[in-house]
Each structure stands twice: as C-alpha cells, then as structure tokens.
Amino acid sequence: MTEASEADRADHALKAKHRAMWALGDYPAVASQIIPELGSELVGECGVGKGDRVLDVAAGSGNAAVPAALRGAEVVASDLTPELLEVGRQAAAARGARLDWREADAEALPFADGEFDTVMSCVGVMFAPHHQRAADELLRVCRPGGTVGLINWTPQGFIGQMFAAMRPYAPPPPPGAQAAPLWGDPEHVRSLFGDRVTDFDPRRRSVRVDRFGRPEDFREYFKTSYGPTIATYRFISEDPERVAALDAVLDDLAARHLDDGAMDWEYLLVTAHRTAA
C-alpha cells in the first residue's frame, strides 16, 4: 500500500469517527435551545441579502443556514453528518425556508472555485481536524470580493475550557489534528487566511446561557445531548472512578461560571473579504 493511500484510509476513518460523534445525542437541540441566536447574528454580520449565493459549512441542522434562506438568499447547508442535515431539512420546511442540504467534508468541499458570495460557519468548521485544509476550502469556494464569516468558541471561554477539562479523559487526538478552540484565537485565524483576505475583523463577544440552574444540570444535559461530551464519557465508561472524576471536573467548571442561574460563553466573530487575486 502506498503512503498516499494509507493517509487516505486514515483520513476516511477519522472523518467516519467525527460523523458518528456528531450523530450522538441531540446536537440540533443544543443549537436551538442553547445558542439559537448565534446563527442569525452571523448571517446579519455577513450582510446576507436576497439572491446572494451562500454556503454554510459544517452547518449542522442549519442554525445559520435557515436564517440566511429566510432572508431570500440561495443557500447550501453542508455538513459531514447526514443525521443533522435531515433534522435541519424538516425544521426548515416547517419554517417555510427553501435551501439545499448537502453532505460534505469541510476539508474537501464539493463546490467550484468562487461559487459563493458568502461562505460562513457557526461553531462548525472549527471542529474539522486539519485547520489549514478547512481554511483553504472556505476561501477557495468564496468568490473574489465575497465575504467569509465565522463564529467560533474561544480557548479561554467556557466551551474552550470545557474541552480542555475533558481532554485528559478523551481519546488521544490523531496525528496532525488541531484543537478546535484554536479557531477562536484571532491570530490563529489570521495566520490560516494569510494575505488571501482583506478587512479582517475579529471581535470577541459572548452569548448568555440561562438554561442551567445548577452545575449538575449543565453536566447532565451535555452528557446526553452533546456529541463530544458523550464520546468522552463512552471512552471512560468502564472506569467508574474516571467517570466520577469527569463529573466533578465539569460540575466545578459550571459552578465557577454560573452567576444567578446564567453563564456567559465567549466566542470569536470574524468577518473578512476574499481578495481579488
């Protein structure tokens, strides 16, 4: 077997694991119940309007894609996990939104160069394991002068801290994979895009989450609904002591961020324009 084919097989296996992880639990509920406003915010910041060609990368169930379609844009929602797309398709139909749903790998998008006016991702593309590949694809399919818009969790924010807290209990990352919250570091994103964008505008913001009154409410919700957390618990499921330790770690994290029944989760909003060259 050649080195290239071995690499292809390893990448295929990795993507299969990612696809399966995001099918665990109920990510559409997380998006609609916990952070419903982020998608509409991203669409607004990208200036999406009627007739615009829009691609939502790692769209999940369409938290950003559906609001873009409701503005009259011609939208493609792409994601690696077909189960999420099916939920999104049904929810969009219920709201009267028309858009195209496509299964696609963010690191190998099946679209032409410069096909879209706006290419965006709302806490989605950050989970592609190879950041440069994903960034290259975002820019490739965006037309010269078009808009790239991202919302990503920051390393120092609540979700970034949650991933750091889970890391000692999770399976080791595959070679070459990068930590998702790096996409919430403006310097990291700037280095990924390089001189291929202009008007690079990173802004730190936060979303207020008031669903969890107690730390254990947060922990149990994420243990049953959020794919990465479910996968981490499954990895240690045969070691009760480690399960109890992770419970305590997540409870402590939530307790430190809860203030009168609410938490603020920091994210990075980035907008930029694709250069003409």
Condensed to tens digits (0 to 9), the pLDDT of residues 85-128 reads 999 999 999 999 999 999 999 999 999 999 999 999 999 999 99
Strand ranges inside 138-276, DSSP E: 142-153, 197-209, 263-274
- Name the 3-class secondary structure at 65: helix
Pair 214, 223: CB distance under 8 Å: no
Prediction pTM value: 0.95
Between the CA of residue 64 and those of 56, 88, 199, 232, what are the distances in Å? 7, 11, 22, 27
CA trace torsion 71, 226, 262, 180 (10° rounding): -80
Structure tokens at 251: 């409870």
Q: Which residues of the chain have pLDDT under 50?
A: 1
| Alpha helices in 128-239, H assignment, sequence order | 131-140, 158-166, 186-193, 215-225, 227-235
Quote the pLDDT of residue 3: 57
Distance, in Å, from the CA atom of 190 to the CA atom of 70, rounded to the nearest integer, reads 31
Fold of 9-274: Rossmann fold (3.40.50)
107 burial via Cβ count (<10 Å: 0-12, 13-18, 19+): buried
Structure tokens at 79: 């994601």
Quote the pLDDT of residue 61: 96
Distance, in Å, from the CA atom of 106 to the CA atom of 103, rounded to the nearest integer, reads 10
Structure tokens at 44: 């607004």
Quote the pLDDT of residue 2: 63
For 181-210, how does the pLDDT look when each residue is reduced to its tens digit (9 = 90+)?
Answer: 999 999 999 999 999 999 999 999 999 999
Q: How far apart are the first and last CA of the chain?
A: 39
Quote the pLDDT of residue 277: 67
Query: Between helices 82-95 and 3-23, what is the axis angle to 10°?
Result: 50
Domain coordinates of the chain in residue numbers? 9-274
